[in-house]
């Protein structure tokens, strides 16, 4: 939908095909770095989204074994001046709803549900997409934004299933008045410990608290690849954390979890007038909170090159891929490294804590390349 909006903003028509019977999102939070805020603002959705968004004051790292703060990034005036936007967190349904409403208002965009993409063929300079219900649609370009297990990627690249990294997340949203420790009002806090972390931030004008607990599974590491990271392993890994952190485990649901995957970054997402976007092209684990932000940046870049290209669609798609490849690869690789840092144990944990203690809250060099974002 971000891609359709970006194309419409530049005067181009598109159709969005979703395999589900309705456009919708699951009910958890999503963080938007300033790089994504600026893109969403350009797409015209921030005005609708802002009343629901929480403007994060600080990004805080706390040691889950001691409850001691390790470091923080202040998202105040210096941050906003440097990155030309604030850091915000929103409910996925609010973000999705704002995008959907904006799409519905544009006559350049047609929205189709219950359309499962199956395959494509080339017809002259055009592409014909075929769907499971037997329907076909023809256009000048086809963009596969079909997520982690992309059918379009299977056809274009065929590099198999995404790679499980052995980490599992549990999520939960609870009313804010049920949260015992309310000291981190408008902060995004990560409690970090050996093979675990816990993320917490408020949503929906501060009325609810979003919680994510993640474990790096020892069972997976030992080669026990079936049924790893279940609620019993979650409880076992968190059993070394402070009573406060263990109590927060009560805020996440145990009946459903997310097994985390990414892929080795690689180019080659474009063939003819067909390309990939978002997780289909460059899935990442969420440790920089940038998977969706990258998809939104992709959308803006792609619309820009297509606008300039005229009838040279293939050249435009190749230029888009070239512009996005190494930036998104850096997000994928840095997210893995960040995972190793937050899950550190023993001497690595001691060194991390020592180095982080020397940072100032207005130090941004680690994320400067990321949050400065792209130009429209
Ligand atoms: C626990 C967790 C926390 C995260 N937190 C953050 C965060 O804070 N910030 C952030 O930026 N990112 C975050 N992410 C990553 C983010 O959720 C993804 O990167 C993002 O959703 C990718 O968007 P996408 O549009 O590429 O794919 P998706 O969101 O997966 O959307 C793909 C769509 O395509 C549809 N589809 C699939 N196959 C077909 C087909 N054959 N035909 C038609 N339609 C099809 C699907 O139904 C779906 O609607 C997090 C991820 C996880 C797991």
| Residue (of 176, 178, 140) closest to 14 by Cα position | 140
* CA 198 and chain centroid, separation: 17
Predicted local distance difference test score (pLDDT) of residue 185: 83
Mean pLDDT of 187-201: 98
Quote the pTM value.
Answer: 0.98
162: phi then psi, degrees, rounded to nearest 5: -65, 165
- Beta-ladder partners of 69: 62
- Work out the mean pLDDT of the chain and round it to a whole number: 96
Residue 61 clears pLDDT 90, i.e. is over it: yes
Longest dimension (CA), the chain: 65
Predicted local distance difference test score (pLDDT) of residue 30: 96
Ligand 1: residue of 17, 279, 332 to mutate (most ligand atoms within 8 A of CB) is 279
* CA 375 and chain centroid, separation: 20
- Beta-ladder partners of 197: 192, 214
319: enclosing H helix or E strand: helix 313-342
The band of 97, judged by pLDDT with boundaries at 50, 70 and 90, is very high
Q: What percent of the chain has pLDDT over 70?
A: 100
Distance 345 CA to ligand 1 centre (A): 31
Distance 321 CA to ligand 1 centre (A): 19
If phi > 0 it is left, if psi is from -120 to 50 it is alpha, else beta; for residue 128 that is beta
DSSP state of 162: P
Predicted local distance difference test score (pLDDT) of residue 225: 87
The band of 59, judged by pLDDT with boundaries at 50, 70 and 90, is very high
Residues 223-260 pLDDT 10s: 998 889 999 999 999 999 999 999 999 999 999 999 99
Predicted local distance difference test score (pLDDT) of residue 254: 97
Ligand 1: residue of 96, 119, 146 to mutate (most ligand atoms within 8 A of CB) is 146
Mean pLDDT of 191-198: 98
Q: What residues contact 73, with CB distance under 8 A and at least 6 apart?
A: 58, 59, 79, 361, 363, 364, 367
Q: What angle do CA 298, 24, 234 make, to 5 degrees?
A: 85
């Amino acid at each position: 939908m971000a891609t359709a909006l970006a194309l419409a903003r530049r005067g181009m028509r598109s159709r969005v095909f979703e395999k589900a019977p309705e456009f919708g999102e699951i009910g958890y939070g999503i963080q938007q770095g300033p790089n994504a805020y600026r893109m969403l603002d350009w797409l015209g959705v921030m005005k609708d989204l802002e009343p629901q968004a929480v403007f994060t004051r600080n990004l805080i790292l706390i040691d889950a074994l001691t409850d001691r703060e390790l470091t923080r990034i202040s998202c105040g005036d210096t941050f906003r001046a440097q990155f030309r936007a604030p850091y915000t967190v929103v409910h996925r349904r609010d973000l999705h709803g704002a995008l959907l409403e904006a799409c519905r208002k544009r006559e350049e965009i047609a929205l189709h549900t219950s359309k499962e993409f199956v395959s494509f063929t080339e017809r002259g300079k055009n592409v014909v997409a075929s769907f499971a219900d037997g329907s076909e649609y023809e256009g000048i370009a086809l963009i596969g934004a079909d997520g982690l297990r992309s059918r379009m990627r299977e056809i274009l690249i065929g590099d198999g299933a995404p790679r499980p990294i052995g980490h599992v997340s549990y999520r939960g949203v609870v009313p804010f008045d049920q949260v015992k420790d309310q000291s981190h009002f408008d902060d995004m806090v990560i409690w970090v410990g050996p093979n675990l972390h816990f993320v917490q931030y408020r949503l929906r004008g501060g009325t609810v608290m979003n919680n994510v607990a993640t474990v790096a599974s020892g069972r997976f590491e030992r080669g026990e690849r079936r049924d790893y990271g279940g609620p019993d392993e979650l409880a076992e890994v968190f059993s070394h954390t402070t009573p406060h952190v263990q109590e927060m485990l009560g805020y996440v649901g145990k009946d459903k979890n997310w097994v985390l995957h990414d892929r080795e970054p690689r180019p080659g997402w474009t063939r003819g007038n067909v390309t990939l976007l978002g997780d289909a092209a460059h899935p990442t684990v969420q440790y920089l909170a940038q998977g969706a932000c990258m998809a939104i940046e992709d959308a803006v870049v792609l619309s820009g090159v297509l606008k300039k290209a005229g009838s040279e669609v293939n050249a435009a798609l190749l230029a888009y891929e070239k512009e996005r490849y190494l930036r998104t690869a850096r997000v994928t690789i840095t997210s893995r490294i960040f995972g190793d840092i937050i899950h550190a144990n023993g001497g690595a944990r001691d060194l991390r804590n020592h180095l982080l203690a020397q940072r100032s809250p207005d130090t941004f060099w680690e994320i400067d390349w990321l949050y400065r974002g792209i130009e429209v």
